[in-house]
Amino acid sequence: MADLDVLTLTATEAQQLLRNQKLTSVALVEAYLTQIGKHNHNGFRLNALISVAPREDLLKTASRLDEERAAGHARGPLHGIPFIIKDVFVTLPSLGMPTTCGTPCFAKATTKRTAPLIQYLLDQGMILLGKANLTEFCGLKFKGLTPGYSSFGGQTQNPYIFGGLEKDEKLIGHSSPGGSSAGSAAGVAAGFAPLSIGTECCGSIITPANRAGLYALKCGLHTVDDEGCFKYNDCIDCIGGLAKSAQDLASFIAALQQRKEPYDLNRGLAGLRVGFTDVNVWRLPETMVSWPGDTRQQMEDGYSAAIATLKANGVDVETDIDLPRAEEYMKRPDGKSHFWEIAMHQLKQTHMQAFFDEFSESEVHSLEEMIEWNKKHADTCLPQDELEGLLASNREPAEMEAMIIELRDKSKSALDRHFEAGMDIVVALADSSLVRYSSGAGKPVFFLIRTA
């Protein structure tokens, strides 16, 4: 049997070992469960996973999948590979994990179904190990909520930061795990699973992936089934994947999008046109992020090296492209945020109640009941200024529709003039506001780490 290092093992490598009969899914699951036991709530106390499926159930599933493989049947390209999901997807009680969004009021609730996307992956032979911690309710509690913290799951820690989140850290400073898909990133980086699912409105996959040194892709709008998933709205929220290699990510995204054919990674780079933004302009303000020591210089050196590598491989590269900073270009005269206003409007109108309706049994059945439950359990719940504000809000539908159109038009106009001129990819540092444009335009965005 293969000697496994779950910190470095990729899903592609694991699948090759499984095919060559040098590894079993049972052994693979046991290795990940051992790592979870060491460092999720013990050891480094990463709090990456909010719940883990029962060991006995996992091993039974893995054994059954091993038997199927031995009989010559693989359900899909990722047959026998474990994964974790952000705790925003509903799952049946039979899977042994609650659906909480990180909030205690759902701790005892039971759902009516498993989200279709998750059920599809299970039917394809993947193994759901656990649910990842997150910024509680995807950040909808109170202004200034620390990324990666939930009342039910605690503070997710960045596996690369010894000692954890530093005192008085900036919103997404170097010791922060990022959010809201913090556990999805930390779990893969810590060797709890090779693949994970996150969700993003504006940076909620890309920022944690950046902090955890992973490959990640927020898929384009409506390219992945989001039924049974807590979301703010239909025009911004997207699902994506996180992994340890480009090959892993391509395979996982193909599965998430239920593609019949895998993505072709052998096409080469020649002929691509890639535009790089100016790193001195396209970066988040120091009030939000921190770069200790020579971190900033290393980032800029890596950025320059990526440009050189692409040029050496036949890519047509344009540097310092003319792209207005999203913070300024997207600013409204009334000071309102497109993303926040649109998200809160659709959430109150449809998606909040739709999520409550996913439960067959629950202590709360509406936003009003949730707020009251939190008040009665204030000793274990976070402040809920934003939930109360959502309940009291009364946004005009016509105003919101106009804002959606404005958001989409501004985002597309900023990007499309480059794409329509033949550019294939626009690049910026992960610590920048490019995610605003991608979210507003409904376009995919990815984060890749540079390797020598």
- Nearest-angstrom CA–CA distance, 280 and 303: 12
Please state whether the predicted TM-score (pTM) of the whole model is above 0.75.
yes
| Averaged pLDDT, 269-288 | 94
| Averaged pLDDT, 329-338 | 84
pLDDT for 329:
86
Query: pLDDT tens for residues 357-385?
Result: 999 999 999 999 999 999 999 999 999 99
- Nearest-angstrom CA–CA distance, 181 and 136: 10
Task: Say if CB 49 and CB 185 are below 8 A apart.
Answer: no
Based on the residue annotation, tell me whether 143 is a catalytic residue of this protein: no
Query: pLDDT tens for residues 142-186?
Result: 999 999 999 999 999 999 999 999 999 999 999 999 999 999 999
Task: Say if CB 74 and CB 25 are below 8 A apart.
Answer: no
pLDDT for 315:
96
Query: pLDDT tens for residues 64-103?
Result: 999 999 999 999 999 999 999 999 999 999 999 999 999 9
Q: Is residue 393's pLDDT more than 70?
A: yes
Based on the residue annotation, tell me whether 218 is a catalytic residue of this protein: no
Phi/psi at 4 (5° precision)? -95, 135
Query: pLDDT tens for residues 209-219?
Result: 999 999 999 99
Q: Is residue 451's pLDDT more than 50?
A: no
Q: Is residue 120's pLDDT more than 90?
A: yes
Based on the residue annotation, tell me whether 60 is a catalytic residue of this protein: no
Phi/psi at 371 (5° precision)? -65, -40
Catalytic residue among 25, 150, 151, 180: 180
Catalytic residue among 176, 204, 251, 438: 204
* Structural domains of the chain, ranges and CATH numbers in brackets: 11-256 (3.90.1300.10)
What is the rounded average pLDDT for all residues in the chain?
A: 95
Which pLDDT band, with edges at 50, 70 and 90, does 452 fall under? very low
Which pLDDT band, with edges at 50, 70 and 90, does 449 fall under? low
Retrieve residue 185's tokens: 């990133």
In 157-255, at which residue ranges do the beta strands (DSSP E only) sit?
195-200, 215-218, 238-243
3-state secondary structure of 376: helix
Task: Say if CB 276 and CB 423 are below 8 A apart.
Answer: no
Q: Is residue 450's pLDDT more than 70?
A: no
The DSSP code for 146 is P
| Averaged pLDDT, 257-265 | 93
Rg of the chain over CA atoms, in angstroms? 22
Type and span of the H or E element at 427: strand 425-427
Catalytic residue among 86, 231, 244, 410: 86
Which pLDDT band, with edges at 50, 70 and 90, does 13 fall under? very high
Q: Is residue 327's pLDDT more than 90?
A: no
Task: Say if CB 83 and CB 126 are below 8 A apart.
Answer: yes
User: Which residues sit opposite 218 in a β-bridge?
Assistant: 240, 445
The helices-and-strands tally (H runs, E runs) of the chain is 15, 14
Query: pLDDT tens for residues 185-238?
Result: 999 999 999 999 999 999 999 999 999 999 999 999 999 999 999 999 999 999
Query: pLDDT tens for residues 334-346?
Result: 888 888 899 899 9
Retrieve residue 103's tokens: 């909030």
